C-alpha cells in the first residue's frame, strides 16, 4: 500500500500531515530485507522520504520566524515539534539500527556509518530522563540571561538592546552602558553558579551511565570528533598564545593610539577608533541583494549563479520587519534541493558580512546536493564553517564599488580591517573558552566549586586577552564564563570555529595567489559533503587541518600585512 513511490513530490503538499500519515512510510522501510543488492535502493527511498519530512519541518519553522505574530503558524510548528519530531527521531533510530545490524557497508557511506555506530555505542535508556533534565536547565539558563534588563535613558531595556551603545562615539555614554551591563550580569552570579553545579553533575552522570569515567571522552564521541584529540586542542591553544596573542596586543595598542588613549578600557573595543559614523552600504533590500550578487559573481560565476537561483526562487528573506524573529541562518528545503537564507538586515556592514557568510553555507548546500543519500551531505562544523568563513574572506577583494561591491575605496579598506581585526581577536577568546572547558572536565571536582571556576577563567583570561585594561573589574573578568552560553548549553562546542577560521584563512591566502584555482579547490571540497574525514576535506580545499603555531603564524602574518596596508 505504502509504496514509497506514492510519496507526494512536493513537501508543500505534506505540511498538514499528522504522524499517522508519515508513519506507514517508516514502517515500509523498516519492513524491508536488507542485502548488498537492495541497500542502495533502501537508502535512496529513505532519502526521498527523509528529504520531504525534513523540508516540512524547515518550512514550518521558517513560517514562524517570518511572522512571529502568526498564531496558526506557531501552532502548526509546535504540533510538528511535539507530535511528529520525537516519533520520527525514534523511527530514524530504528532504521539506523537496522542498517548497522545488516553489517552492510555501502560505498561512500563509511563516515555516516561511523557516526551511527558512535550514537549506538553511547545510547543508554537511563540517560533519556537526564537529557530532559539537562534540556530544562538549559532553558533556565536562557531565561536568566534573556530576562536581564536595566534602566537606560528612562526605559527598561534588555542587555541585548544596550549592546549597540558600544558603537557610540561618546565615550562616557559607552562607559555608562557598559557598567550597567556588567553590574546586571553580576546580580545573577549565585543563580548561575547553582545552575552550573546541577548541569555539571548531570553531565558527569550521563557519561558514567554510558561507561565513561570521563565526560570529555564521552562528549568527544557524541560530537563525532574522530579526527582530533584534546591534546590537539591544547596544542592549538599554545599556538594561539604564541602566534595570535602578540598580534592581538599590537592591534589593541594601535587602536588605543588611534583613539588617543593611554589604555583601552572594556568599553573601547567596538567603536570606530576614528569616531566615524557606521558604514552604510545599502538603502534597501534590492540594493543589498544586487551588491552581494555582484560580489559573489566575482568570487566565482557559479557561486553567483547559486545566489541568483535563490533570488529567483524566493528563498531569501533578508530585511528586518516587524514581527520577524531575530537572528540569521541558512537552512534548506531538502526535497526542493534549495537552501533558504533568513536574516534581519537594517543597512549595516555587518549585514553584508552575514549574508556573504550564509551564502557560503548555501553554496555548500548547492555543491553537495548531488550526493545521493542525505546522510552524506553534511560535513562537520569544523569544515562547514570553512565554507562560510572562507566565503567572507574570498569576498574581501570585492567590497569596493569599483571592484563590484558597496563602498568607496576608503570605506572598503575600513570594512576589510574591521573584518580582519575581528578574526584575530576571536582566536584568543576561543582559546579561553576551550581552555576553560578542558580544565572543567579534567578536574570536575574542582569545577563543582564556582570560586575555582572563577579563578581558572580569570587566569586564562589574563593569559590570552592581553592589551585591554580591566583593572577594577576583577569580578566581571572572573565571572565571564557565565556569559558564554556554550559552556552551559553545548559543552566543548566552540573550538570548531577557531579551527575553521584557520582553514578559511588558508583558502583566502591561496586565493590571493591564484583565485581561480583556490576557489575551484574550495568548491570541490564543498561538493564532498560529509563523505570524507576533516583532514581530507581541508586538504581538498587546499588547506591543512592544523593546530600548530607555524600554520597559524603564517596566516596571522598575512592578516597583519593586510591590516598595515
Ligand atoms: Zn556559519
Q: Which three cell numbers stand for residue 532?
A: 570524507
Check the CA dihedral 132-137-141-144 and report its sign: positive
pLDDT in tens, 506-554: 999 999 999 999 999 999 999 999 999 999 999 999 999 999 999 999 9
**pLDDT above 90 (res 4):** no
Q: Which three cell numbers stand for residue 513?
A: 595567489
Q: Report CA(557)–ligand 1 centroid distance (Å).
A: 25
Decide: 234 and 438 in contact? Cβ < 8 Å.
yes
Q: Report CA(184)–ligand 1 centroid distance (Å).
A: 30
Q: Report CA(178)–ligand 1 centroid distance (Å).
A: 28
Q: Report CA(447)–ligand 1 centroid distance (Å).
A: 30
Name the nearest CA neighbour of 452 among 237, 214, 193: 193
| 192-211 burial: b if 16+ Cβ within 10 Å, else e | bbebbeebbebbbebbbebe
Whole-angstrom Cα distance, residue 364 to residue 413? 28
For range 362-380, the mean pLDDT: 97
**pLDDT above 80 (res 489):** yes
Q: Report CA(266)–ligand 1 centroid distance (Å).
A: 27
Q: Report CA(153)–ligand 1 centroid distance (Å).
A: 35
pLDDT band at 356 (very low <50, low <70, confident <90, very high): very high
**Residue 46 contacts by C-beta under 8 Å, 6 or more apart in sequence?**
29, 95, 373, 374
Q: Report CA(121)–ligand 1 centroid distance (Å).
A: 29
For range 264-274, the mean pLDDT: 96
pLDDT band at 2 (very low <50, low <70, confident <90, very high): low
pLDDT in tens, 450-470: 999 999 999 999 999 999 999
Q: Report CA(179)–ligand 1 centroid distance (Å).
A: 31
Q: Report CA(127)–ligand 1 centroid distance (Å).
A: 30
Q: Report CA(458)–ligand 1 centroid distance (Å).
A: 29
* % of the chain at pLDDT higher than 70: 100
Decide: 70 and 324 in contact? Cβ < 8 Å.
no
Q: Report CA(387)–ligand 1 centroid distance (Å).
A: 8
Q: Report CA(45)–ligand 1 centroid distance (Å).
A: 30
Taking ligand 1, which is a single-atom ion, which protein residues have CB atoms under 5 Å away?
A: 388
Q: Report CA(343)–ligand 1 centroid distance (Å).
A: 13
pLDDT in tens, 535-547: 999 999 999 999 9
Name the nearest CA neighbour of 376 among 9, 1, 44: 44
Q: Report CA(383)–ligand 1 centroid distance (Å).
A: 10
Q: Report CA(361)–ligand 1 centroid distance (Å).
A: 7
Decide: 315 and 338 in contact? Cβ < 8 Å.
yes
pLDDT in tens, 271-317: 999 999 989 999 999 999 999 999 999 999 999 999 999 999 999 99
Query: What is the Cα Rg of the chain in Å?
Result: 24
pTM of the model: 0.95
pLDDT band at 28 (very low <50, low <70, confident <90, very high): very high
Q: Report CA(342)–ligand 1 centroid distance (Å).
A: 12
Q: Report CA(322)–ligand 1 centroid distance (Å).
A: 25
Q: Report CA(455)–ligand 1 centroid distance (Å).
A: 32
Q: Report CA(505)–ligand 1 centroid distance (Å).
A: 15
Amino acid at each position: 500500500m505504502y509504496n514509497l513511490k506514492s510519496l507526494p513530490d512536493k513537501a508543500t503538499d505534506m505540511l498538514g500531515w499528522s504522524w499517522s500519515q508519515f508513519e506507514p512510510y517508516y514502517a515500509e522501510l523498516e519492513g524491508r530485507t536488507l542485502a548488498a543488492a537492495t541497500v542502495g535502493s533502501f537508502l535512496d527511498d529513505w532519502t526521498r522520504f527523509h528529504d520531504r519530512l525534513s523540508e516540512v519541518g524547515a518550512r514550518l519553522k521558517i513560517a514562524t520566524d517570518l511572522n512571529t505574530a502568526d498564531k496558526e503558524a506557531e501552532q502548526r510548528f509546535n504540533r510538528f515539534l511535539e507530535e511528529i519530531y520525537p516519533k520520527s527521531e525514534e523511527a530514524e533510530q530504528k532504521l539506523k539500527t537496522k542498517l548497522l545490524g545488516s553489517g552492510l557497508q555501502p560505498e561512500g557511506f563509511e563516515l555516516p556509518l561511523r557516526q551511527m555506530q558512535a550514537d549506538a555505542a553511547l545510547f543508554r535508556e537511563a540517560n533519556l530522563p537526564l537529557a530532559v533534565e539537562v534540556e530544562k536547565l538549559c532553558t533556565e539558563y536562557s531565561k536568566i540571561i534573556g530576562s536581564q534588563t536595566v534602566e537606560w535613558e528612562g526605559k527598561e531595556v534588555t542587555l541585548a538592546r544596550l549592546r549597540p551603545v558600544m558603537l557610540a562615539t561618546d565615550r562616557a555614554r559607552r562607559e555608562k552602558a557598559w557598567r550597567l551591563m556588567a553590574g546586571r550580569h553580576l546580580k545573577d552570579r549565585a543563580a548561575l553558579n547553582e545552575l552550573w553545579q546541577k548541569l555539571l553533575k548531570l553531565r558527569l552522570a550521563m557519561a558514567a551511565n554510558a561507561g565513561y569515567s570521563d565526560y570529555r571522552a564521552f562528549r568527544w564521541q557524541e560530537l563525532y570528533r574522530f579526527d582530533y584529540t584534546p591534546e590537539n586542542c591544547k596544542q592549538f591553544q599554545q599556538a594561539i598564545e604564541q602566534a595570535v596573542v602578540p598580534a592581538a596586543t599590537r592591534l589593541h595598542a594601535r587602536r588605543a593610539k588611534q583613539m588617543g588613549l593611554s589604555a583601552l578600557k572594556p568599553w573601547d573595543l567596538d567603536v570606530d577608533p576614528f569616531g566615524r559614523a557606521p558604514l552604510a552600504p545599502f538603502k534597501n533590500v534590492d540594493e543589498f541583494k544586487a551588491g552581494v550578487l555582484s560580489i559573489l559573481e566575482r568570487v566565482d560565476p557559479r557561486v553567483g549563479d547559486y545566489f541568483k537561483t535563490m533570488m529567483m526562487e524566493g528563498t531569501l528573506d533578508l530585511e528586518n520587519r516587524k514581527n520577524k524573529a531575530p537572528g540569521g541562518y541558512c537552512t534548506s528545503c531538502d526535497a526542493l534541493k534549495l537552501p533558504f537564507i533568513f536574516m534581519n538586515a537594517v543597512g549595516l556592514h555587518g549585514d553584508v558580512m552575514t549574508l556573504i557568510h550564509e551564502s557560503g553555507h548555501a553554496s555548500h548546500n548547492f555543491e553537495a546536493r548531488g550526493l545521493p543519500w542525505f546522510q552524506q551531505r553534511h560535513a562537520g562544523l569544523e569544515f562547514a564553517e570553512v565554507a562560510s568563513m572562507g566565503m567572507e574572506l574570498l569576498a574581501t577583494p570585492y567590497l569596493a564599488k569599483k571592484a563590484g561591491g558597496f563602498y568607496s575605496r576608503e570605506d572598503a579598506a575600513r570594512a576589510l580591517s574591521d573584518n580582519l581585526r575581528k578574526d584575530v581577536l576571536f582566536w584568543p577568546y576561543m582559546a579561553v573558552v576551550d581552555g576553560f572547558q578542558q580544565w572543567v572536565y579534567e578536574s570536575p571536582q574542582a569545577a563543582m566549586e564556582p570560586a575555582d571556576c572563577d579563578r581558572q577563567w580569570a587566569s586564562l583570561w589574563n593569559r590570552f586577552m592581553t592589551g585591554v585594561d580591566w583593572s577594577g573589574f576583577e569580578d566581571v573578568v572572573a565571572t565571564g564564563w557565565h556569559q558564554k552560553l556554550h559552556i552551559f548549553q553545548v559543552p566543548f562546542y566552540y573550538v570548531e570555529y577557531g579551527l575553521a577560521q584557520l582553514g578559511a584563512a588558508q583558502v583566502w591566502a591561496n586565493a590571493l595567489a591564484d583565485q581561480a584555482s583556490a576557489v575551484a579547490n574550495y568548491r570541490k571540497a564543498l561538493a564532498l559533503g560529509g563523505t570524507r574525514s576533516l583532514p581530507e576535506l581541508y586538504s581538498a580545499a587546499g588547506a591543512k587541518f592544523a593546530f600548530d603555531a607555524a600554520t597559524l603564524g603564517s596566516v596571522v602574518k598575512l592578516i597583519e600585512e593586510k591590516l598595515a596596508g
